[in-house]
């Protein structure tokens, strides 16, 4: 009886660890400096790999169309779509092939972009 309780507690601890504490490829840890890029140069390529967009924070200019170039290296189908909710836009990203996504002009502010299940997350900083 006690053994079963202990096993149950261990299982609960494992589940808590798995879902709340273990974060593979958490972008907030290592990429703070290189993850922010200014897109106005036009030649930034956003790599889709290991659960993060790299860079994941992009500065773009307000009031003009923006072209983002994505390069998907993650073969999982979830990474295949990038969604820009504020622009009501979604694009398919081919594997290992650069894909340019043209965004309409956006109002100033922070506009997120994600994959289908929101595991990949990025932010457009428009100003």
What is the closest distance, in whole angstroms, from the C-beta atom of residue 114 to Cu ion in the complex? 7
Question: How distant is the alpha carbon of residue 92 from its chain centre?
Answer: 14
Alpha-carbon torsion 81, 85, 86, 87, what sign? positive
Q: Mask of contacts with Cu ion, 37-76, x by CB under 5 A?
A: ----------------------------------------
Q: Which of 45, 80, 119, 125 binds Cu ion (CB under 5 A)?
A: 119
> Is residue 78 near Cu ion by the rule CB under 5 A?
yes
Read off the tokens for 29.
Answer: 């840890």
Of 79-118, which residues contact Cu ion (CB under 5 A)?
115, 117
56 burial class (0-12, 13-18, 19+ CB within 10 angstroms)?
Answer: buried
């Amino acid at each position: 009886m006690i053994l079963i309780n202990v096993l149950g507690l261990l299982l609960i601890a494992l589940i808590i660890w798995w879902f709340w504490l273990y974060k593979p490829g958490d972008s907030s840890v290592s990429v703070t400096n290189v993850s922010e890029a200014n897109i106005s140069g036009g030649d930034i390529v956003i790599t889709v790999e290991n659960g993060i967009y790299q860079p994941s924070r992009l500065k773009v200019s307000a009031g003009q169309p923006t072209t983002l170039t994505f390069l998907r290296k993650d073969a999982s189908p979830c990474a295949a779509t990038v969604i820009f909710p504020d622009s009501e836009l979604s694009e398919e990203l081919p594997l290992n092939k650069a894909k340019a996504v043209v965004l309409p002009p956006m109002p100033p502010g922070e506009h997120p972009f994600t994959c289908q299940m929101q595991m990949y997350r990025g932010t457009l900083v428009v100003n």
